[in-house]
């Protein structure tokens, strides 16, 4: 994590990546409902990339804190963490739902 990034930028990058990941997962679900499983898989891969980008930022924040460089906790950072966790959960559940659509 670059030291020159301010907390607001970090939080908004988390929100942006995780939100995009969640949106792509829901797009994948919509494609699966139509039977477009190749497109759904492609969207899930893109979703995973975005969520991983957000998760990498979170991991860097955790490592920084473990090294004694605490991150200021504010409502925006809590919001960003919430976005990431709900995006991870949504993608996992949507992946399972798509598998169910495949067997129908």
Q: Please tell me the distance from the alpha carbon of residue 38 to that of residue 42, in angstroms, as a whole number.
A: 6
- Residue 85 tokens read as 């966790």
83 is catalytic: no
Structure token pair of residue 104 = 């129908």
Q: Which of 1, 10, 4 is nearest to 76 (CA)?
A: 10
**Helix orientation angle between 37-66 and 7-33, rounded to the nearest 10 degrees:** 160
- Given 13, 23, 36, 79, which residue is catalytic? 79
List the catalytic residues.
79
């Amino acid at each position: 994590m670059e030291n020159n990034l301010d907390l607001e930028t970090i939080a908004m990058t988390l929100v942006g990546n995780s939100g995009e990941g969640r949106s792509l997962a829901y797009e994948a679900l919509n494609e699966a409902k139509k039977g477009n499983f190749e497109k759904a898989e492609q969207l899930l891969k893109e979703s995973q990339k975005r969520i991983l980008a957000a998760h990498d930022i979170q991991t860097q924040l955790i490592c920084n804190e473990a090294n004694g460089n605490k991150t200021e906790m504010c409502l925006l950072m809590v919001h960003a963490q919430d976005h990431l966790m709900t995006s991870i959960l949504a993608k996992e559940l949507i992946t399972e739902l798509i598998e169910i659509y495949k067997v129908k």
